[in-house]
Amino acid sequence: MLEERGRVGRPRSERARAAVLHAVDDLLVEIGYAAMTMKGIAEKAGVGRQTVYRWWSTKAEILFEASAADASHELAVEPTGEALDDLVAYLEALVHFLTRSPAGAAYRALLGEAQHDVAVAELLASKDILGDSARTVIERVVREDTPSIPVDLATALLIGPAFFWITSGRDPARLVARELAETFLRELRIREPR
Amino acid sequence: MLEERGRVGRPRSERARAAVLHAVDDLLVEIGYAAMTMKGIAEKAGVGRQTVYRWWSTKAEILFEASAADASHELAVEPTGEALDDLVAYLEALVHFLTRSPAGAAYRALLGEAQHDVAVAELLASKDILGDSARTVIERVVREDTPSIPVDLATALLIGPAFFWITSGRDPARLVARELAETFLRELRIREPR
DNA sequence: CACGTAACGAGACACGGTGTCTCGGTATAG
DNA sequence: CTATACCGAGACACCGTGTCTCGTTACGTG
Question: Which of chain B's residues have a Cβ under 8 Å away from the Cβ of A60?
Answer: none
Q: Got the DSSP string for B127-159?
A: S-HHHHHHHHHHHHH--SSS-SS-HHHHHHHHH
> A92 and A49 in one domain?
no
Range of the domain at A44: 3-57
Question: Which of chain B's residues have a Cβ under 8 Å away from the Cβ of A163?
Answer: 160, 163-164, 168
Q: Indicate the residue of B108, B109, B116 with minimum beta-carbon distance to A109.
A: B116
Domain final residue, candidates B57, B77, B102: B57
Number of DSSP helices (H) and strands (E) in chain A, helices first: 11, 0
Query: pLDDT digit of tens for each residue in chain A (194 aa)?
Result: 444 555 788 999 999 999 999 999 999 999 999 999 999 999 999 999 999 999 999 999 999 999 999 999 999 999 999 999 999 999 999 999 999 999 999 999 999 999 999 999 999 999 999 999 999 999 999 876 567 899 999 999 999 999 999 999 999 999 999 999 999 999 999 887 65
- Cβ distance A116 to B33 less than 8 Å, yes or no, reads yes
> A70 and A19 in one domain?
no
State which residue has its Cα closest to the C1' atom of C27: A10
> A112 and A96 in one domain?
yes
The average confidence (pLDDT) of chain B is: 93
> A17 and A112 in one domain?
no
CATH of the domain at B25: 1.10.10.60
Residue-wise pLDDT tens digits, B139-178: 999 876 567 899 999 999 999 999 999 999 999 999 999 9
Per DSSP, the three-state class of B34 is: coil
* B193 has pLDDT over 90: no
> A159 and A97 in one domain?
yes
Instruction: State how many domains chain A has.
Output: 2
Domain final residue, candidates B57, B76, B97: B57
> A81 and A44 in one domain?
no
- pLDDT level of residue B192 (50, 70, 90 thresholds): confident
> A97 and A174 in one domain?
yes
CATH of the domain at A139: 1.10.357.10
> A69 and A160 in one domain?
yes
Give the number of A-B residue pairs with CB atoms closer than 8 Å. Answer: 108
- Cβ distance A179 to B130 less than 8 Å, yes or no, reads no
Selection from B164, B180, B165, B156 nearest residue B91 by Cα: B180
By CA distance, what is A130's nearest residue in B? Answer: B168
> B182 and B105 in one domain?
yes
> A47 and A12 in one domain?
yes
**Contact predicate A160/A130, CB 8 Å:** no
> B39 and B98 in one domain?
no
> B127 and B50 in one domain?
no
Interatomic separation, CA of residue A63 and C1' of nucleotide D23, rounded (Å): 49
Rounded to whole angstroms, the Cα distance separating A183 from B131 reads: 20
Interface residue A172 vs chain B (CB under 8 A): no
Nucleic strand D under 7 Å from the C-beta of A11: yes
